[in-house]
Structure 1
Amino acid sequence: MSEFELYDLRVETVLDGRTPVCRHIEGESFRVEGETLVFPEGARVSMYALAALLPLLPAKQRPTDPADWMSTDAEVACPDPHCGGRFRVTRVGKRRFTHDATTGLPGERGTPWWQS
């Protein structure tokens, strides 16, 4: 049974004195656990900002070389060029997965990871 690890992530809104144009609230956050986005009660994220973040999150979950920019650069800008909002992506822990719990290949499927 082949296994692999992914980082859980915390994605937090940071302004650091910059003025937001979009609805960005300093400190508001969500988590990424496996393939799941977990939002605390009442948290909101702009769908445009989320669209800018989504392609980077799977790469941020994977182990990378310490010198790789994916390991060192933690902030993603809001896609609105006039907005001061940023999103800090922090690796907060590791989660172990098995291939058969995450694949859809017939004959290799096991119990989905979120049910085990």
Structure 2
Amino acid sequence: MSEKHNDQFYLYDLQVETIRGEKDFVCAHEEGVNFQVVGENLVFPQETRFSLYALAAILPLIPARQRETAGTDWMTTDTDIACPDPNCGARFRITRIAKRSFRHSECTVVPLPRNTKD
């Protein structure tokens, strides 16, 4: 098998949507506002505003949500992230919406070790 064929991996495309939690919004969030994560790109609908502070809280979780996880892993089941303001009731739901194939050789110039099987 050539390196071109065995260097494939998958990532999920994600949607991040603002939802209402148990408390009122304190920050300038709007229910239903969303963006998508497609590969390495954040894709915002035109004229969408999303809090920088909320985005900073969500960003560390995105690469983990993009990858396959065990059914028993909390990253598989816990989809709602709280607004970083403890007084705000906004939540941000991260949903897997599609699975996309990538090739290592198209994402980096670092070669794979010769004995890689995954």
**Where in structure 1 are there 5+ consecutive unaligned residues?**
109-116
Asked if 1:30 is matched to 2:35, the reply is yes
Change (3 A) 1:97 1:18: same
Inter-partner Cα distance in structure 2 for 1:43 and 1:27: 11
**Mapping 1:85-100, distance limit 5 Å:** 85-100=90-105
2:78 equivalent in structure 1? 73
TM-score where L is the length of structure 1: 0.87
2:52 equivalent in structure 1? 47
**Where in structure 2 are there 5+ consecutive unaligned residues?**
112-118
- Please identify runs of 4+ aligned residues in structure 1 that moved more than 6 A: none
TM-superposed CA distance for 1:44, in Å, is: 1.0
Which protein has the larger Cα radius of gyration, Structure 1 or Structure 2? 2
TM-score where L is the length of structure 2: 0.86
Inter-partner Cα distance in structure 2 for 1:24 and 1:63: 30
